[in-house]
Amino acid sequence: MNITFKKIHLDDLMDLRAIAMQTFRETFGHHNTEAELEDYFNTAFSPETLASELMDLDSQHYFALVDDAIAGYLKLNQGAAQTEQELANAFEVQRIYVLKAFQGQGVGKFLFEKALQLACETDCEWVWLGVWDQNYKAQRFYEKYKFERFSEHQFPVGDKVDTDWMLRRSVASLQAEFGQSK
Provide, rounded to whole angstroms, the least separation between the CB of residue 133 and ligand COA. 11
Residue 20 beta carbon to ligand COA: minimum distance, rounded to whole angstroms = 11
| CB-based contacts of 130, cutoff 8 Å, min separation 6 | 83, 84, 94, 153, 164, 165, 166, 167
Q: Which of 22, 83, 103, 175 binds ligand COA (CB under 6 A)?
A: 103
Please report, in angstroms and rounded to a whole number, the separation of the first and last CA atoms in the chain: 32
Tell me if residue 145 is catalytic. Answer: no
140 binds ligand COA (CB under 6 A): yes
Determine, following the binding rule CB under 6 A, whether residue 135 of this chain makes contact with ligand COA.
Answer: yes
How distant, in Å, are the alpha carbons of 96, 105, 149, 154, 172 from that of 137? 13, 15, 15, 20, 26
Binding mask 22-51 for ligand COA (x = CB under 6 A): -x---x------------------------
Active site residues: 142
